[in-house]
Amino acid sequence: MLRSGYPARDPLPLLRLAALGEVPHAISTRHGGVSQGPFATLNMGLRTGDREERVLANRRVFEESLGLAPHQVVAGRFSHGNEVSVFHRPANGKAARPPSRLRPQLWQSEARFCSDGVVGDVPGLYFFLTFADCVPIAFRDRRRGVIGAAHAGWRGTAKGVARAVVRTAGEEFGTDPADLLVGIGPSIGPCCYSVESEVLEAFSAHGFDPVVLQRNGLTYLDLWTTNERQLRQAGVPAESIENNRICTSCNRDTYYSHRAEQGRTGRFALCIGLSKRGG
């Protein structure tokens, strides 16, 4: 069974996904930063109401814990859709051309891609995505040196963003889904995530069948199993998917939860990339 852990060598309490092996990556917690109040302490979200200088300081601490410089990181700005940005390895040693969805200017001091999914094979480039109940999903092609990530809230899951990442990796890099290793990180669980009929209708509109539980007259959405099911339908072997099943709402002493904290909270982050050796 795949297991995650918090290695003692990390200066911050970081979650690492066993499925990804030696690919450089980490998921932050809410501990080890400088933010205060509802954002305490390691808030990674710039558009949360927290002071920008504190968030940027937190991001630098997190990046430094991974041995990264700011210019190596591109951060996601999300629309809760299923679009996927693509970063190709530069040819002949030339500088990489920015993908179509990468904004050419810096936003809040950082380069950004504008989509809920991302894939790439560029050594030394790292993807940075933030969460506070939505599902972090990290991808590794064990044969081709390709990595990816997805931000899968209910809207993105209803549109199949995880499957879109798998499909895009195949189209752009020749990835075989059978070669993918996937880690599903902390997010709100079916123990806490009650939803209204409009959520279920959105899944139906996009041809997906969500996994739900009925309890005390309420409907609870299981984003973990729904995304895992979509990944399997896309061809990823069940044994290659690590599903942590850590509920952010139940564990808001460790992770931020938008719902449990009524929207007044921070964000934790997933960062994944390829070393300059390519993996």
Report domain extents, the chain: 18-90+97-187+236-273
Q: Of 207, 121, 114, whose CA–CA distance to 158 is shortest?
A: 207
Predicted pLDDT at 102 = 46
Predicted pLDDT at 54 = 97
Within a 10 A sphere around the Cβ of 79, how many other Cβ atoms? Answer: 13
CA pair distance 67, 179, nearest whole angstrom: 28
Predicted pLDDT at 111 = 82
Predicted pLDDT at 278 = 52
At what angle are helices 223-233 and 161-173 packed, to 10 degrees?
30
Contact criterion met (CB below 8 Å) for 236 and 182: yes
Predicted pLDDT at 276 = 83
Q: Of 257, 67, 221, 234, whose CA–CA distance to 150 is shortest?
A: 234
Give the contacts of 123 (CB within 8 A, at least 6 positions apart): 89, 274, 275, 276, 277, 278
pLDDT tens by residue, the chain, 279 residues: 344 554 434 579 999 999 999 999 999 999 999 999 999 999 999 999 999 999 999 999 999 999 999 999 999 999 999 999 999 998 754 444 444 444 443 334 568 899 999 999 999 999 999 999 999 999 999 999 999 999 999 999 999 999 999 999 999 999 999 999 999 999 999 999 999 999 999 999 999 999 999 999 999 999 999 999 999 999 999 999 999 999 999 999 999 999 999 999 999 999 999 998 655
Fold of 18-90+97-187+236-273: CNF1/YfiH-like putative cysteine hydrolases (3.60.140)
Predicted pLDDT at 91 = 72
Contact criterion met (CB below 8 Å) for 63 and 73: yes
